[in-house]
Amino acid sequence: MNKKKQQTEQTKKKIADAARALFAQKGYKATSIEDIVKATGCSAGNIYYHFKNKEGLFLYLLEEWNTEWDKTWLDKQTLYPTTIDKLYGMAEHLALDQLNHPLTKAADEFFNNSEKAPDVEERIHEMVKGYLDFNRQLLQRGIDNHEFETTNVTGLAIILDSLMLGLNQHSRRMEREEALKAYRLAMDVFLHGIIKPTRTR
């Protein structure tokens, strides 16, 4: 990496780190570009150069969060021998991540903000597509391993994503153990319809 590119990446990281702290502390709506200018010493023009606008900056932080989640999950998933175990593990991982992540509240504000530029909507669409692809691959593995009945994997991936998204909202006011129980129960209910019945000998 040449010196100029390295400086550009360092500036981008400096802006992202400062913005993450501000969004976590103040929320999405209350954090302005001016706040980020004051926190970083970078000009507004410099921030717009790297991220286009506040939405673009926040999306960048969400994409980083997703990457971080994927990396942690990849390290953890080997602990779960079957796809069924992996689904329960994923639900628990999601529950704890949502309860503990500093950007959770700001992310709610961001997604509930109805006015979004078309390019932002497109990036959100790609993000959701990534979640569905993840679910689809995990469920397909269960079918390939003969844990699940052959079924509409795409439909189930959407239902699973909707279930986790709904729980994400409802579990905000729950204590840690209550939230974990809710996620486990959701997985019980979800799996009940697709686990192969035990054959009698």
Please check whether residue 120 is in contact with residue 59, taking contact to mean a CB–CB distance below 8 angstroms: yes
DSSP helix/strand/coil, 14:
helix
Provide the token pair at 138: 């995990």
Per-residue confidence of the chain (201 residues) as pLDDT tens digits? 677 788 888 899 999 999 999 999 999 999 999 999 999 999 999 999 999 899 999 999 999 999 999 999 999 999 999 999 999 999 999 999 988 899 999 999 998 876 788 888 899 999 999 999 999 999 999 999 999 988 899 999 999 999 999 999 898 889 999 999 999 999 999 998 777 776 554
Q: How many CB atoms lie within 10 A of CB 143?
A: 17
pLDDT in the model for residue 198: 67
Instruction: Give the distance, in angstroms, between the CA of residue 61 and the centroid of all CA atoms in the same chain.
Output: 11
Q: Are 151 and 79 in contact (CB under 8 A)?
A: no
CB 160 within 8 A of CB 142: no
pTM, to two decimals:
0.86
Amino acid at 33: I
